Amino acid sequence: MVDCGRNPSRDRRIARSPARRPGRRTGSCTVATAYVGTMLDPNDRFASPAVRAVAAFSLPGTTTLVFPRAPLDESRWAELIDAVTAERLLGLLLPAMTTGAFPVTPLQAKQLRELATDAVRYCLVLEGELLRAAVLLSAADVSLRVLKGPAAAALDYPDPTMRAFVDIDILIRSEEFDRAVGTLTRAGYVREHPQPRSGFDRRFSKGTSFISPRGLALDVHRTFVMGPYGLKVHLDDLWAPGTTFRIAGQPFIALSAEARLLHACYHAALGDWPRRILPHRDIAQIALTGMYDEPRFYELTKRWQAEAVVATSVALAWDLLGISDTNRLATWASQFVPSVADKRALDLYARTDVNYATLSLAALGAVKGVQSKAAFLRSLAFPERAYVVGRHRSRVSRVVLGLAQTFTSGRKRH
């Protein structure tokens, strides 16, 4: 297991070999010490060792987590199935059962096969939606990259059915973003939330979400996440040569392996709260197979100022999945100490009471140029009426709430 209890060398940057670089000593706690405890809250769906063992099944190397020796009783099985379904782990529990690693009763085996089959069918439906959206966007001269679900399933797992997903995520260039939104809207896709002002999304936002004419979720990204870490991503890096895979014979381009690993880290550390376990499995899946260019990964991490994001998510992945094997990345992550600014930024993403305005205001420092900062603030302070209606009492109340939450981050965790 990763040792998370030491006073580590202070190291805020990744260079050629993170495990070997010296730094000054500090009494501050590591990322793993600070955040693993929160991740393992007893109320979390995946706090159960059995659920975590499912998430770790078939990883390269060894894990300290074990499956039960006998089939679970009806109550515990129902709890496990609920958690595994919610965490999108049916594709891992099924092979654990079929190989005999996870013992089940005949009735449990039947239920699991039915649920896993339904999950695979839904993924196929979503891939069909991706095919339709790609045709629309291509006709409008809009380029796309496939993110997360279908790309991870096809490229990072030995069997695509092991990696379930419940929506489609695509990346669009900033300069093509408005054209993509217009194209999808005219085709009957319904945008879930308006942007504060015209042009805000293509300049400052993570992206936007749509519901397709068939009722399926399509997330259109410009960057990985909203807020300060999203604006620090160098978008040109995301459009460097990627990895090609096919759906129904049609070629699609995903991010490079290094960018996919980074995206998994962003998703794990900055995504839903409470955190999901699946992005941590994605991290371990790529990191332990070694199918990425390590120096390139470190280069991107440093350029995007994402050291705290990577360290947090990698340390949590190793702990949650009980991974016994270590490597340079895991060793560095267990020893990393975040700056005060990073702690405040990470805390914002870990609060359930933080809204869109709060994360946006926290990103001001990452906006480059005086004119861009002015446009950014103007959009947040004076959004168009369609954005405010139904969300806030007034424009002023919205900004006040965002400022209050921004300046109280770090004092309260949820």
Over the stretch 167-178, which tens digit does the pLDDT of each residue have? 999 999 999 999
Residue 198 has pLDDT above 50, yes or no: yes
Q: Taken in order 299, 305, 306, 308, is the CA torsion positive or negative?
A: positive
pLDDT of residue 397: 55
Query: Residue 190 pairs with which residues in a beta bridge?
Result: 211
What is the residue-wise DSSP string for 13-76?
---S-TTT----B-SSPPHHHHHHHHHT-TTSTT-SHHHHHHHHTT-SS-BS----SSPPPHHH
Alpha-helical (H) ranges within 350-412 are: 356-362, 370-381, 385-388, 395-408
Residue 65: CB atoms within 10 Å = 20
**3-state class (DSSP) for residue 209:** strand
pLDDT of residue 11: 33
Output 255 or 14, whichever has higher pLDDT. 255
Query: What mean pLDDT comes out for the span 44-70?
Result: 88
**3-state class (DSSP) for residue 363:** coil
pLDDT of residue 347: 87
Per cent of the chain over pLDDT 70 is 82
3-state SS, 70-102, equals CCCCHHHHHHHHHHHHHCCCHHHHHHHHHCCCC
Query: Residue 36 pairs with which residues in a beta bridge?
Result: none
Residue 8 has pLDDT above 80, yes or no: no
Residue 275 has pLDDT above 90, yes or no: no
Over the stretch 79-137, which tens digit does the pLDDT of each residue have? 999 999 999 999 999 999 999 999 999 999 999 999 999 999 999 999 999 999 999 99
pLDDT of residue 272: 79
Over the stretch 332-382, which tens digit does the pLDDT of each residue have? 999 999 999 899 889 888 877 777 777 777 788 888 899 988 988 888 888
CB 336 within 8 A of CB 30: yes
pLDDT of residue 46: 58
> CA–CA separation, 268 vs 272, rounded Å?
8
Question: Is 241 exposed, middle or buried (CB count within 10 Å of its CB: 0-12, 13-18, 19+)?
Answer: exposed
Closest CA to 25 of 7, 13, 5, 2: 7
Task: Please compute, for residue 404, the number of CA atoms within 13 A of its CA located in the half-sphere on the CB side.
Answer: 8
State the pLDDT confidence band at 14, using cuts at 50, 70 and 90.
Answer: very low
CB 10 within 8 A of CB 24: yes
Closest CA to 40 of 322, 261, 262, 339: 322
Close Cβ partners of 60 (under 8 Å, ≥ 6 residues apart):
288, 289, 325
Mean per-residue pLDDT over the chain, rounded: 85
Close Cβ partners of 66 (under 8 Å, ≥ 6 residues apart):
49, 53
Domains and CATH numbers, the chain: 31-408 (3.30.460.40)
Query: Which amino acid type is present at position 65?
Result: L
Question: What's the residue count for the chain?
Answer: 414
Residue 18 has pLDDT above 60, yes or no: no
Residue 7 has pLDDT above 70, yes or no: no
State the pLDDT confidence band at 153, using cuts at 50, 70 and 90.
Answer: very high
> CA–CA separation, 110 vs 195, rounded Å?
46
Close Cβ partners of 143 (under 8 Å, ≥ 6 residues apart):
137, 172, 173, 176, 239
> CA–CA separation, 369 vs 230, rounded Å?
17
Residue 166 has pLDDT above 50, yes or no: yes
pLDDT of residue 192: 93
State the pLDDT confidence band at 389, using cuts at 50, 70 and 90.
Answer: confident
Model-level pTM?
A: 0.84
pLDDT of residue 411: 40
